[in-house]
Amino acid sequence: MATAPRRPGNEGDIERGGGGGLVIHHHHHPQQPPATSGPSSPPQPHSAPPLPLPIPGNLNPPWKHVGYKGYSAFLASRDDLLVLRRFSALSTRVALSLQHELVVLERELDEMDGGFAAAGEEEDDDEGGDEGSDEGNGGGRKGVSNGCFEDDVEEREMLMRIIGERLRRYYKFIAQQSAIRKYPLAPRQTVEEIKQWHRAFDKEGDAIDRDEQSYLEMGGDLVCVVHGQDGRQTGTDEREGEPSSWDHTGSRRRRRTGLEWHWAEADLATAVVITVGGAVMVLAPMWILWAVDGTRTRLGVVTAFVGALLALLSFALQRYPLVAIGAVALYAAVLMLFIPVYNS
């Protein structure tokens, strides 16, 4: 008897057996994994190389998490911390270069004026030339007036325009340099405070590249961009103006060093020194003049104290020498009053 045809999609084949029964032959096929809408299964080990593990202790390098963002915020926290180079030698060289360009153009203009003047004299002496005609005489150079801007030759007009542009650029540069030269030099304490910020990251790595922070070594070329103000009054740190720095996470943290005193402590120390020094300079000569004998000896004591005060004030008031001399003269007059008192 004929074998029953196979049906596609059935899991087995049906045949007629010898006894008239049906025999089913099952075929086992590997099942495909069901499709799911969830996340795909992890890749096999050979599909991609494993990611390298981070090195312990280098999870938050300052150059990555602080960088120029943190450095800029630190410099902007107080006006006196904005210290930059003024490039004195380089700007002087540029100024000399601009000046030389103008000298060359000026010489060219003088030669052009001289050439036109000489051409006019030749035209006057040439009787065969056409009077009042500028054509056919050396390309239009004869008969050109050096005393009128109207109908001037094109090459001189072009040269004058070039000179005007170069002069504007030269004057603008000179004005900028004049303003920059008035900026005060950055105090060493301020520069050292900025270096302290960089040194705070030495153990973890540089927040700013070493080459890019080397400008702080140019002490004689560093200026305070914002001048004429007290950094204590312009700081943005609300905690009594104390300097702050940035840690490896980029957050503020307070830091106290010998160069970063609290402003109140600095004012107190200054007041104490001035008070003690003033008391010594006034009371000490009084007792010494009382203890010694003789006008000459007492005059020597007065001279010694006056000289000491003059040296001290000359150092402290370098910009105001007349004030220092006036204060010393008043001090000497007061001490001289004690000499006749003790002599009597």
Share of the chain above pLDDT 90, in %: 20
Residues 162-191: what's their mean pLDDT? 93
pLDDT confidence band for 250 (50 / 70 / 90)? very low
Residues 100-117: what's their mean pLDDT? 91
293-312 tens-digit pLDDT: 888 888 899 999 999 988 88
pLDDT at res. 51: 40
Contacts of 216 (CB under 8 A, 6+ apart): 83, 191, 194, 195, 198, 222
Contacts of 236 (CB under 8 A, 6+ apart): 76, 77, 78
Contacts of 57 (CB under 8 A, 6+ apart): none
Residues 33-45: what's their mean pLDDT? 50
pLDDT confidence band for 314 (50 / 70 / 90)? confident
Q: Where are the domains of the chain?
A: 61-86+183-260, 87-181, 263-343
Structural contact between residues 189 and 259, judged by C-beta atoms closer than 8 angstroms: yes
Contacts of 202 (CB under 8 A, 6+ apart): none
List the one residue out of 310, 300, 260, 305 whose CA is nearest residue 285: 305
pLDDT at res. 268: 82
pLDDT confidence band for 123 (50 / 70 / 90)? low
Residues 67-95: what's their mean pLDDT? 91
Tokens of 312: 């001290």
Residues 1-28: what's their mean pLDDT? 49
pLDDT at res. 215: 92
Residue 84's DSSP bridge partners are 223
53-71 tens-digit pLDDT: 344 445 567 666 688 888 8
Helix and strand totals (H; E) in the chain: 10, 6
List the one residue out of 77, 69, 57, 78 whose CA is nearest residue 250: 69
Structural contact between residues 70 and 250, judged by C-beta atoms closer than 8 angstroms: yes
CA distance 267 to 83: 24
265 has pLDDT over 70: yes
Contacts of 93 (CB under 8 A, 6+ apart): none
List the one residue out of 64, 44, 69 whose CA is nearest residue 54: 64
Instruction: Classify 323 as helix, strand or coil.
Output: helix
pTM of the model: 0.47
CA distance 74 to 81: 8
233-245 tens-digit pLDDT: 444 443 333 444 4
pLDDT at res. 219: 83
CA distance 62 to 68: 10
Q: Specify the range with the lowest mean pLDDT, choosing from 113-117, 131-135, 310-314.
A: 131-135
Return the ∠ at Cα 322 (arms to 320 and 327), rounded to 5°. 100
Structural contact between residues 339 and 295, judged by C-beta atoms closer than 8 angstroms: yes
List the one residue out of 110, 111, 79 whose CA is nearest residue 224: 79
Task: Report the residue count for the chain.
Answer: 344
CA distance 90 to 96: 10
Share of the chain above pLDDT 70, in %: 62
pLDDT confidence band for 126 (50 / 70 / 90)? low
pLDDT at res. 132: 44
